[in-house]
Amino acid sequence: MSTDESLSRAEELLTRLEAARAELEQVSSGEGGSPERAIELLGELSELAKAVEEELTRAQRAAEEDAQS
């Protein structure tokens, strides 16, 4: 996967992460949510954050490989 592809994927994941964070904020303010949904969202946020980190690591590796070539 190229640097640009990894960065693009990371941006997509960050968009999803922000949407989940916004929903968690809505749930936590009591506007139509449940504690169970809040727990689900926290799990989703954790998974998305890990995926973003992985994509950024891939992008960094690809950039380093390109620089050495």
- Residue 66: burial class (beta carbons within 10 Å; 0-12, 13-18, 19+): exposed
pTM: 0.81
DSSP state of 31: S
**Where does the pLDDT of residue 49 fall: very low under 50, low under 70, confident under 90, or very high at 90 and above?**
very high
Give the C-alpha separation, 33 to 56, whole Å.
Answer: 32
Q: What type of residue is 53?
A: E
* Beta carbons of 3 and 62 less than 8 angstroms apart: yes
Residue pLDDT, tens place only, 14-25: 999 999 999 999
Closest CA to 43 of 30, 68, 24, 69: 24
Residue linked to tokens 């916004």: 22
